[in-house]
């Protein structure tokens, strides 16, 4: 049974249990038997510490490189069933949110646990909208980057720099302060992103327009030129908003883990968000959308797809945008994104790389290499095609992931801070290095 399903929790809380909720372990080194409590289909790792051969030993640990089977926390934010391809924020299905909600409403839901009523949504939107401007000094700071600086590098630095502008953000156990930093982070991320983009083009920065929606204002700051008022195309604005909803949170992924881990040292949320953004930048995580596009360009034509797949199967390269630690089925976000793509392509024209992507997917879904490893398209497989059609350069793709993920990061951070079971994150290791040995003077070393 999946350890995190709500169904499991119901079973664990049920009253008609046939057996005890414990795990019996016999240590064959000593013949001793132990009974370890089971809660929510998990055991507490520290319960293993009582298992030892000699009383002065440290005790048993579990070894789990890359957290393949370790729950780091209890969470009420996002639920994923990777076998069934299910994703829910606070109990609401991603399909329903993508169809009916907006990014800002979804961000409220993720952070507060409930959908807002009308006045709550108005207040929330007002505060986010009125925190979109950045200090003029941040602009100067961004201007210092080289013209071809990767926007993710600029973002990571600029987010970290915000902590120097708002030193009161260190007051992390003050609810009002946390709320203020939340408005600032969600409000300013699109501005930093758009300014990074304009800097790379050598274009003047376009200031936020508070009359536009969150996604519409972002498009304004990116693409406004000499017009007095920028009016975003409603289809593209909506498509971007849906993409933001799909990327808002994804439970304990690499960047959420970075946010929790760095935040557990009680650093301010800007510094923790910079760390999470850095984690997202990697090509195995949020940087994958950029890599997908580079891969499709490298494949170049339909005729080259079989040869590329052959190289993937030989272990020479990866099919980027495929595979997931948790999803062993079609990523539900990828399914929604295919629909969003249709709407964008209708306006902007069909992306010529789409046929190559579809052919990669067709072959992979029939090929035993991918089928036996349960490798399906993930969220990043089709987003790059949409972003490219909307006019974004590839280097902006991971930035488009980071903007909406900010709400998820803050929710994960706040949940971690308020969880009495959490402490500074500090894993153990299995030390396999040298035992104590004497220091050799320089002239005696071979
Ligand atoms: N292409 C080819 N083979 C793959 C791929 C791929 N994209 N992904 C996994 N495999 C193989 C892998 O080589 C391994 O084979 P074997 O059992 O023969 O050694 C097997 O499938 C299991 O893979 P794994 O690396 O143990 O799986 P993981 O859970 O550690 O890695 C992953 C998950 C997402 C890092 C990986 O699938 C990958 O590198 N995918 C490409 C990058 C990508 O698209 N990342 C975006 C993830 S979704 C968005 C996000 O959350 O950031």
In-domain check, residue 31:
yes
- Supply the pLDDT for residue 12: 42
Residue located nearest, by CA, to atom 17 of ligand 1: 373
In-domain check, residue 222:
no
Whether ligand 1 lies within 6 angstroms of the CB of 285 is answered as: yes
Residue located nearest, by CA, to atom 27 of ligand 1: 325
Tell me how far the alpha carbon of residue 324 lies from the centroid of ligand 1, in angstroms: 6
Q: Are 189 and 214 in contact (CB under 8 A)?
A: no
pLDDT of 422 > 80? The answer is yes
Catalytic residue among 150, 199, 247, 285: 285
Tell me how far the alpha carbon of residue 365 lies from the centroid of ligand 1, in angstroms: 15
Residue located nearest, by CA, to atom 28 of ligand 1: 325
Whether ligand 1 lies within 6 angstroms of the CB of 253 is answered as: yes
216: confidence class by pLDDT, cuts 50, 70, 90: very high
In-domain check, residue 180:
no
pLDDT of 294 > 80? The answer is yes
Whether ligand 1 lies within 6 angstroms of the CB of 312 is answered as: yes
In-domain check, residue 37:
yes
The pairing of strands 32-37 and 22-27 is antiparallel
Return d(Cα 379, Cα 288) in angstroms, integer.
9
Whether ligand 1 lies within 6 angstroms of the CB of 239 is answered as: no
Ligand 1: atom nearest CA of 250 is 51
Catalytic residue among 135, 324, 339, 443: 324
- Supply the pLDDT for residue 352: 87
pLDDT, average across residues 9-23: 60
Cα 53 versus chain centre, distance:
42
pLDDT of 10 > 50? The answer is no
Q: Tens digit of pLDDT for each residue in 81-111?
A: 999 999 999 999 999 999 999 999 999 999 9
In-domain check, residue 35:
yes
The pairing of strands 92-93 and 86-89 is antiparallel
Q: Tens digit of pLDDT for each residue in 348-401?
A: 998 889 999 999 999 999 999 999 999 999 988 999 899 999 999 999 999 999
In-domain check, residue 215:
no
Return d(Cα 331, Cα 289) in angstroms, integer.
14
pLDDT, average across residues 65-79: 96
pLDDT of 232 > 70? The answer is yes
In-domain check, residue 167:
no
Task: Show Cβ contacts of residue 101 under 8 Å, excluding neighbours closer than 6 positions.
Answer: 92, 109, 115, 245
18: confidence class by pLDDT, cuts 50, 70, 90: low
Higher pLDDT: 289 or 31? It is: 31
Distances (CA, A) of 161 to 4, 141, 158: 37, 9, 5
Among 257, 334, 284, which Cα is nearest to 85's? 334
Whether ligand 1 lies within 6 angstroms of the CB of 325 is answered as: yes
Whether ligand 1 lies within 6 angstroms of the CB of 286 is answered as: yes
Tell me how far the alpha carbon of residue 331 lies from the centroid of ligand 1, in angstroms: 13
DSSP 39: B
- Supply the pLDDT for residue 6: 43
Return d(Cα 12, Cα 271) in angstroms, integer.
38
Print the domain residue range for 21: 15-63
Ligand 1: atom nearest CA of 322 is 7
Residue located nearest, by CA, to atom 52 of ligand 1: 285
Number of structural domains in the chain: 1
What is the pTM for the complete model shown? Answer: 0.92
Return d(Cα 7, Cα 320) in angstroms, integer.
33
Whether ligand 1 lies within 6 angstroms of the CB of 405 is answered as: no
DSSP 61: -
Whether ligand 1 lies within 6 angstroms of the CB of 295 is answered as: no
For residue 339, indicate whether it is catalytic.
no
- Supply the pLDDT for residue 338: 86
Return d(Cα 414, Cα 112) in angstroms, integer.
10
Whether ligand 1 lies within 6 angstroms of the CB of 284 is answered as: yes
Tell me how far the alpha carbon of residue 386 lies from the centroid of ligand 1, in angstroms: 23
In-domain check, residue 45:
yes
For residue 380, indicate whether it is catalytic.
yes
Q: Give the mutation target among 323, 379, 383 for probing the ligand 1 site: most ligand atoms within 8 A of CB.
A: 323
For residue 143, indicate whether it is catalytic.
no
């Amino acid at each position: 049974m999946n350890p995190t399903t709500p169904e499991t929790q119901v079973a664990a809380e049920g009253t008609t249990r046939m057996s005890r909720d414990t795990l019996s372990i016999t240590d064959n080194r000593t013949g001793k038997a132990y009974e370890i409590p089971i809660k929510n289909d998990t055991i507490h790792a520290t319960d293993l510490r009582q298992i030892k051969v000699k009383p002065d030993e440290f005790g048993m640990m579990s070894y789990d490189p890359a957290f393949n089977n370790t729950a780091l926390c209890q969470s009420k934010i996002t639920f994923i069933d990777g076998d069934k391809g299910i994703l829910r924020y606070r109990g609401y299905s991603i399909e329903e949110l993508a169809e009916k909600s907006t990014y800002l409403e979804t961000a409220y839901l993720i952070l507060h646990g409930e959908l807002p009523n009308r006045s709550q949504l108005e207040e929330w939107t007002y505060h986010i909208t009125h925190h979109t401007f950045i200090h003029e000094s941040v602009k100067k700071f961004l201007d210092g980057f080289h013209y071809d600086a990767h926007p993710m590098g600029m973002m990571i630095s600029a987010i970290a720099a915000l902590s120097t502008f708002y030193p009161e953000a260190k007051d992390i156990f003050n609810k009002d302060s946390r709320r203020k930093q939340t408005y600032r982070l969600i409000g300013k991320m699109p501005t930093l992103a758009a300014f990074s983009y304009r800097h790379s083009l050598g274009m003047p920065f376009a200031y936020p327009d508070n009359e536009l929606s969150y996604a519409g204002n972002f498009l304004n700051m990116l693409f406004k030129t000499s017009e007095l008022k920028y009016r975003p195309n409603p289809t593209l604005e909506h498509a971007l908003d849906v993409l933001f909803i799909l990327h808002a949170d994804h439970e304990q992924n690499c960047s959420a883990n970075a946010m929790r881990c760095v935040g557990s040292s009680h650093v301010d949320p800007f510094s923790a968000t910079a760390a999470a953004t850095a984690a997202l930048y990697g090509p195995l995580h949020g940087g994958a959308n950029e890599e997908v596009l580079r891969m499709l360009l490298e494949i170049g034509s339909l005729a080259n797809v079989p040869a590329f797949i052959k190289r993937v199967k030989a272990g020479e390269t990866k099919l980027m945008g495929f595979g997931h630690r948790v999803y062993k089925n079609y990523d539900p976000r990828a399914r929604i994104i295919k629909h969003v793509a249709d709407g964008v392509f209708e306006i902007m024209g069909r992306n010529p790389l789409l046929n190559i992507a579809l052919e990669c997917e067709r072959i992979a879904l029939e090929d035993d290499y991918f089928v036996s490893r349960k490798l399906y398209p993930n969220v990043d497989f089709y987003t790059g095609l949409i972003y490219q059609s909307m006019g974004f350069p590839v280097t902006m793709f991971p930035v488009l992931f980071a903007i909406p993920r900010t709400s998820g990061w803050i929710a994960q951070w706040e949940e971690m801070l308020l969880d009495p079971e959490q402490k500074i994150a500090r894993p153990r290791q299995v030390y396999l290095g040298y035992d104590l040995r004497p220091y050799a003077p320089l002239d005696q070393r071979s």
